[in-house]
Structure 1
């Protein structure tokens, strides 16, 4: 029998669906729930829907990406943010055994997968073509409140999450999402331009530093797909990549995959206006937001290459690498 990890991507999907369906038995759910995939990225996420219309989100964690303790750490922060009213986040649901993190094994998998069920949050994912100035201002305010909470929160002694700094993002020694040099469509000429940009990012971030006022626990992935607009409120979901990084990296992630769009400068202005309602944002910090946007853009070039088997990264492919070139040139011209 062929192991799950060696199967082609299209053959893995039915197995993941079988695992998700089996996992629903670990929770006190009504009979007859349906299970439908809604997203496949680092993890596989499914909508679980009961005949009476009640819904939940079930997440199958990717094997080897986070330890059980790291997942528990993510959930501890997410729960405290929700309970203290800092931001609306999905509520984890305990299994029949009283544990939030469930482990379920499929016959085609070597190890059981960690699985978490969340209550379903209402709202719609925003689109880049919409008028997002008001939601981005609200998001800036929410992000600042999350940063205040992160600085004040007494983390559990066992708390552990990834660190997102220059080396773990763009460095050559086992970066979390793969090497940017392996980007789809990368060639020698493109690599040289990327290298100059990466070197400049490195210099500027080294000068910027990792003082406690600039570097701490952050969401790390506030892209549009992880936001829900529900009336006037903005909800934040998917804390799977939360970890330790520069606070202003959270300003860059909301424009992920759309860094080249003409409305981005205006959206960043809205975000900073909202942020300043809660926290001071000195000009010397604000001026580095383009550095974090560029860091994120190149990090996503690496991510696309290392996740090319999934539909969304595949749809971006070499076009995202090529679309990064004028951004690199503009960044070098302005800050080099």
Structure 2
């Protein structure tokens, strides 16, 4: 899917709308990342960078995208988190669109924030302590904020995450999954479902979250930690934000250290009940099952190609640990 012709088509569609944001049609433009959406960087007439996100079709509705930007704007207005400002077009609208071979692709623009992704080898635990504080702030805002009646975002419950019709695909299609592995993951799914059902989804435990606070969506710049990409924000367990924060590295031996750092930072802002702390290993494993489905259903993406069948084998190993009661 992501061949040169496809990317050229996206770039041409995006260029057609650059003047709507006051940029020249031939402004410098380059691809930053591509996964669910394609993210480009352009330069305005003064040479300042502007980030454009080209949405994949048939995933988020127009109302859902607008709702995401509403929450981001509210977070900025209330000083809750450092996150890029959504930029309006000349006509005042936040979103543009172009036709891509018969599919409508929505486009959003954001200010550019400097910084780099926190990575293993740096003081990752220190930044997860900061992330814990930031996450608690996001959750507090979500509990207080009253969105408009038209606010629409997806709900990330068990069925949406790991059911047979999950948004990111069925984990049963995982790359390299054999019958024995499938049986293990079936037992795991049943266990996880029972555990989250016992935990519950009350207003104290379930609400609007970022849902993708992994390092790729964090920017470190000096002492500042910024949060980007609210594209997956929706309604889920508040503690699922930690599970998402360790995406693709759930198997690493330093995860317990990150968890303790995150909890320490969170508690500087808000309390964490014993049942909320206890559910974290369940949600981390549930997230891993979700990502296993994502890797299979997005095999054309660079991220999925880097994971491959070893990611499935790692998921089975984590499943066996969770089923045996030895999950960290």
Partner SS state of residue 103, structure 2? coil
**CA 31–43 in structure 1, closer or farther in 2 if over 3 Å, else same:** closer
**Residue in structure 2 matched with residue 78 of structure 1 by the alignment:** 72
Matches within 5 A, 1:27-176: 27-29=21-23, 32-50=26-44, 52-106=46-100, 109-172=101-164, 174-176=165-167
Instruction: Tell me the number of residue pairs that the alignment of Structure 1 and Structure 2 aligns.
Output: 327
Structure 2 unaligned blocks of 5 or more: none
**Residue in structure 2 matched with residue 207 of structure 1 by the alignment:** 198
Using structure 2 for the length normalisation, give the TM-score.
0.96
Match among 272, 275, 290 for residue 284 of structure 1: 275
Using structure 1 for the length normalisation, give the TM-score.
0.94
Residue 212 of structure 1 and its aligned partner are, at CA, apart by 0.4
Residue 105 of structure 1 and its aligned partner are, at CA, apart by 2.3
Residue 129 of structure 1 and its aligned partner are, at CA, apart by 3.2
Instruction: Provide the alpha-carbon RMSD of the alignment.
Output: 1.5
Partner SS state of residue 134, structure 1? helix
Residue 283 of structure 1 and its aligned partner are, at CA, apart by 1.6
Q: Which moved more, 1:123-132 or 1:155-164?
A: 123-132
The CA distance in 1 between the partners of 2:59 and 2:90, in whole Å, is 25
1:325 aligns with 2:316: yes
1:302 aligns with 2:293: yes
1:242 aligns with 2:242: no
The CA distance in 1 between the partners of 2:326 and 2:278, in whole Å, is 10
The CA distance in 2 between the partners of 1:220 and 1:110, in whole Å, is 30
Encode CA deviations 1:246-286: one digit per residue, 9 max, x unaligned: 00000111110011111111011000000011111012210
Partner SS state of residue 316, structure 2? helix
- 8 A Cα contact 1:223 1:253, kept in partner: yes
Partner SS state of residue 57, structure 1? strand
In the TM superposition, structure 1's runs of 4+ consecutive aligned residues that sit over 4 Å from their partners are 7-10
Q: Which moved more, 1:156-165 or 1:53-62?
A: 53-62
Residue 335 of structure 1 and its aligned partner are, at CA, apart by 6.8
Q: Which moved more, 1:12-21 or 1:115-124?
A: 12-21
The CA distance in 2 between the partners of 1:244 and 1:287, in whole Å, is 20
Partner SS state of residue 112, structure 1? strand
1:260 aligns with 2:251: yes
Encode CA deviations 1:151-202: one digit per residue, 9 max, x unaligned: 0101111000000010111111x21000000111111111111111111110
Partner SS state of residue 252, structure 1? helix
**Residue in structure 2 matched with residue 4 of structure 1 by the alignment:** none
- 8 A Cα contact 1:128 1:258, kept in partner: no
**CA 10–185 in structure 1, closer or farther in 2 if over 3 Å, else same:** farther
The CA distance in 2 between the partners of 1:31 and 1:204, in whole Å, is 53
- 8 A Cα contact 1:140 1:271, kept in partner: yes
Residue 50 of structure 1 and its aligned partner are, at CA, apart by 4.3
- 8 A Cα contact 1:87 1:142, kept in partner: yes
1:275 aligns with 2:269: no
Q: Which moved more, 1:226-235 or 1:13-22?
A: 13-22
Residue 323 of structure 1 and its aligned partner are, at CA, apart by 1.3
**Residue in structure 1 matched with residue 218 of structure 2 by the alignment:** 227
Residue 53 of structure 1 and its aligned partner are, at CA, apart by 3.8
Residue 37 of structure 1 and its aligned partner are, at CA, apart by 0.7
Partner SS state of residue 137, structure 1? helix
Match among 194, 198, 203 for residue 185 of structure 2: 194
